Structure 1
Amino acid sequence: MNKFIVIFFLAFVSCNSNDKSSAAVAVAVPVKGPTLSDEQLIDLVQKQTFKYFWDFAEPNSGMGRERYHPDGNYPENDANIVTTGGSGFGLMSIISGISRGYVSREEGVQRLNKIADFLNTADRFHGAWPHWINGETGRVKPFGTKDNGGDLVETSFLTAGMITVREYFKNGTVEEKALAEKYDLLWKGVDWDWYRNGRNVLYWHWSPNYAWEMNFPLEGYNECLITYVMAAASPTHSITSAPYHQGWARNGGIVTAATSFNIPLILKHNGAEFTSGPLFWAHYSYLGLDPNQLTDQYANYWDLNVNHTKINYEYCVQNPHQYKGYGSNYWGLTASYSRNDNGSIGYDAHMPSNDKGVISPTAAISSIVYLPQESIAAMRNFYENYNSQIWGPAGFYDAHSANYNWSARQYLAIDQGPQVVMLENYRSGLLWKLFMNAPEVKQGLIKLGFQSGKYNF
């Protein structure tokens, strides 16, 4: 029997002492003793990582911060900048936390109301929220010079989270039904069809100052599949199937016969045509969208994601650059904080074709639904053998390099969120069930030509 000490990390999520949702989450941390079972380890990691969206959320909005630096040393004093997509992952994480009893149902409803009310008055552009928002004012924080308007991809991550909130509470108490209605109205306000710009493809960005100058059509394959699903599912501003097939699928050109490590890629990975892209491509779209037995004319999406993960894993095991630590229990390449050549902290999209000797814990942990044995082995190695370097107040820090004896002791919402959600999907399938059973989601998938042996459509 493991002995535990309970540590309460002080939450600074609210300046209002009457806000019950600001209560810190208690995490049981094992002291030295018998090794944790797999289930104990998974629960510990999930609960600690959940704190990112609970204890360390932005105080005014309740949203997920773009980044959390435990030392308080934020670049450009942007501690109050919140992220749209990462907060969508956070909505799913909060539902998971309520289900697990990490917070009470009442506390969850209060926090989710705060987030909905903030988003209702925050800047929107033809219904789409920007990538970054100032959590104190609700005004857009430009992600780049021309990226100061609507971000359709980030909005799709956010609205997928909204669907799960609505489905979880829609048959609850009067207060819970009212909360579900808030999120229903928010997601229905996105004008997905307008973001076609009159063409049969969706565009990532629109700016009130620069219009369509970013000129970034969503063509597959990358992390953006969920954007087409949400656009097709919308009951108010839906797209037809043409943008999906002509734009995203490139009139069938998305399919490839290429292999890596003798493993079929199935779909072309943009920017890495003959190998796999970063692992977040197997995570972001699939936090709610269940790839189990999901097919269309282009792919079996379970095979696609399992193969993607296997390629990433095999690359790290074979370790062509001979980086220290890489192997069957130390793997996972994805976008995260990174190590610059001079040893400073940067950001990079790690993948087999762009390996910097930096492992991102989210990559292996969020892949637990695809390669559970390999994921748990990595999680255990991270926790037991690198604990002092990468275990912190909101779970594993964002990036680590055994080769350089280096870690980024910081967090990003887009990396913490998938861990909580995929750990929950591995344990119960909760977020998958909520999202996939939403009537509009089923109709949208059918419109695009998907079939599911699991959800019978």
Structure 2
Amino acid sequence: MKKNISLFTIFSLIISLLYIPAASAQGKDGRDIAFRAELKAIAKKTYTYYEDHTDPATGLTFDETRYTEEGKKNAEHTSPTNIGMYMMSTVSAQEMGFISKEEAVDRIQVTLNTLESMKKWNGLFYNWYYTKDGSLKKDWGQFISQVDNGWLSAGLIVAGQAYDELNGQTSKMVANMDYSTLYDPEVGQFRGGYDVAQEKLTDHHYGLLYTEPRVASYISIGKGDVPKEHWWKMERTIPAEWDWQSQIPEGEYAEYDGVSVFEGHYEYSGVKFVPSWGGSMFEGLMPGIVLKEKELGKQALGLNNQRHVELQIQYAKDKGYKAWGFSPAATPDGYSEFAATPLGTSGYADKSTVTPHASFLALDYAPDEVRKNIKVLKGMDMYGKYGFYDSVNVETGEMAKAYLALDQGMIMVSIANYLKDGVIRDYFHQDPIGKKPEELLEKEVFSIQ
């Protein structure tokens, strides 16, 4: 009798233990289903910005639109980054079922035809063009930007892999973009760009790895325009003797492909991390919308991305802010840099201003925190016709009622990657340009373990 009771008791305990987690999982699954539906609805609104603000004749998207006391104002010029983001956002829209494949191909085809006719320098694109006809906008200078061309290349690569019928056109365009013209072989780093009017390269280099220009660096290595040693010539932290930086780094040297690299780090709230320049989210996390940093860089860039997300959230808590997500964004009367200051080498101020795109860039690393943050932002009346307005001061409630093509693109692609298992990253890495340098992501070990 006792044996029977014991067996019954054990059986009952097993059933109860199995039941409780199942119920919890069901609740979690329910939240996840609701969140995924919410993200899809946000993405659909976000893509509507591109549908309503892209010139149908040229396939070029307005840089921004603003709602002012005088009414709605469109900035009818665009940049290489905006064009790249439009193409990736259109692929994302098709992957999420908002438009058909035929519509996506037709839209991107128009853009490609315009790109072919636009003025270039060594295959690289200038910083600004008019959306009405693709002509060069010269009143802001005639600058060739390394980082902006990198994002256009990324968009072309993704579009070409998503649609075979466009691949010939996109591949030729990327092949013609000669990044070696911006490279300084003596330093092993890229110049910021080239001023065509003054016929000179910038004095400054893009010296830090953990900033958004690493996408152009990765692509340039994948193309063979620059040697792979360039990846190791970028600084993880600037030299310790440069005592103006926000903190003196600690770390140790490691060797990769015959190059000695100082694997330095900073520390905030007891957590080690490799800093960006300003401490903003898009510097650190935007490259991850195309690069498989989380998947391949588990001991380096992927781990560091995780740290930056966690520390942005912690920084907001330390400051007593109701929301988090610090990154350059529109202001009510312009544009400014915002950041979680301690996370940067020369940290930008936060000015109590958050921007929604920073949350979406964090989706792969902290989805629950993103879900909660979205709820807070919606509660601040940040959600409008084309998705989230670009920024809000969390102390005063003052909003920048603007939509920026760049920021809309970061939101759109981040959601597509989250809902579709990294689809945009997969397209990018399918191309030999994206595939070839993967070892650079895999082999490095940051000093933040």
TM-score (norm 1): 0.78
Aligned to 1:434: 427
1:279·1:363 contact (CA, 8 Å) conserved in 2?
yes
CA spacing shift, 1:229–1:37, aligned 2, 3 Å: same
Query: Which of 339, 353, 357 pairs up with 1:351?
Result: 339
Distance in 2, Cα, partners of 1:254 & 1:206: 29
Q: Which runs of 5+ in 2 are unaligned?
A: 1-32, 239-258, 342-348, 445-449
Aligned to 1:260: 268
1:130·1:149 contact (CA, 8 Å) conserved in 2?
yes
Alignment coverage as a number of residue pairs: 383
Distance in 2, Cα, partners of 1:246 & 1:406: 42
- Matched residue of 1:362: which SS? helix
CA spacing shift, 1:74–1:444, aligned 2, 3 Å: farther
Deviation at residue 242 of structure 1 after TM alignment: 2.8
Distance in 2, Cα, partners of 1:293 & 1:143: 43
Matched, 1:278 2:274: no
Aligned to 1:81: 77
Distance in 2, Cα, partners of 1:268 & 1:401: 24
Q: Structure 2 counterpart of 1:201, which letter?
A: Q
Distance in 2, Cα, partners of 1:94 & 1:380: 26
Deviations 1:387-417 (A, max 9, x none): xx32222110001124212111111112111
Relative to its length, the structure with more helix (as a share) is 2
Aligned to 1:331: 324
2:281·2:325 contact (CA, 8 Å) conserved in 1?
yes
Aligned to 1:365: 360
- State percent identity of aligned pairs: 19
Distance in 1, Cα, partners of 2:45 & 2:97: 13
Aligned to 2:59: 62
Query: Which of 104, 109, 113 pairs up with 2:105?
Result: 109
Deviations 1:10-49 (A, max 9, x none): xxxxxxxxxxxxxxxxxxxxxxxxxx92122111111111
CA spacing shift, 1:74–1:212, aligned 2, 3 Å: farther
Deviation at residue 157 of structure 1 after TM alignment: 0.6
- Matched residue of 1:256: which SS? strand
- Matched residue of 1:425: which SS? helix
Deviations 1:323-342 (A, max 9, x none): xxx23xx211110013xxxx
CA spacing shift, 1:367–1:451, aligned 2, 3 Å: same
Distance in 1, Cα, partners of 2:138 & 2:193: 12
CA spacing shift, 1:357–1:50, aligned 2, 3 Å: same
Deviations 1:226-261 (A, max 9, x none): 1111101115xx211233222455776663232111
Distance in 2, Cα, partners of 1:72 & 1:278: 30
TM-score (norm 2): 0.79
Q: Structure 2 counterpart of 1:231, which letter?
A: S
- Matched residue of 1:257: which SS? strand
Matched, 1:167 2:161: yes
Query: Which of 31, 35, 38 pairs up with 2:35?
Result: 38
Distance in 2, Cα, partners of 1:108 & 1:264: 43
Query: Which of 260, 277, 289 pairs up with 2:291?
Result: 289
Deviation at residue 73 of structure 1 after TM alignment: 6.2
Q: Which runs of 5+ in 1 are unaligned?
A: 1-35, 171-176, 272-276, 339-343, 453-457
Aligned to 1:204: 192
Deviation at residue 216 of structure 1 after TM alignment: 2.8
CA spacing shift, 1:315–1:358, aligned 2, 3 Å: same
Distance in 1, Cα, partners of 2:46 & 2:139: 25
Deviation at residue 125 of structure 1 after TM alignment: 1.2
Deviation at residue 437 of structure 1 after TM alignment: 2.2
Aligned to 1:91: 87
Relative to its length, the structure with more strand (as a share) is 2
- Matched residue of 2:110: which SS? helix
- Matched residue of 2:409: which SS? helix
Aligned to 2:393: 401
Distance in 2, Cα, partners of 1:316 & 1:52: 29
Deviation at residue 370 of structure 1 after TM alignment: 1.3
- Matched residue of 2:374: which SS? helix
Aligned to 1:185: 172
- Please say which of residues 100-109 and 193-202 is displaced more in the overlay: 193-202
Distance in 1, Cα, partners of 2:175 & 2:71: 35
Deviations 1:119-139 (A, max 9, x none): 111121111112221122323
Deviations 1:74-100 (A, max 9, x none): 99x873201211221221110011111
Aligned to 2:212: 223
- Please say which of residues 374-383 and 132-141 is displaced more in the overlay: 132-141
Deviation at residue 104 of structure 1 after TM alignment: 1.5
Aligned to 1:12: none
Alignment of 1:317-328 (within 5 A): 317-319=317-319, 322=320, 326-327=321-322
Distance in 1, Cα, partners of 2:63 & 2:267: 35
2:296·2:302 contact (CA, 8 Å) conserved in 1?
yes
2:62·2:74 contact (CA, 8 Å) conserved in 1?
no
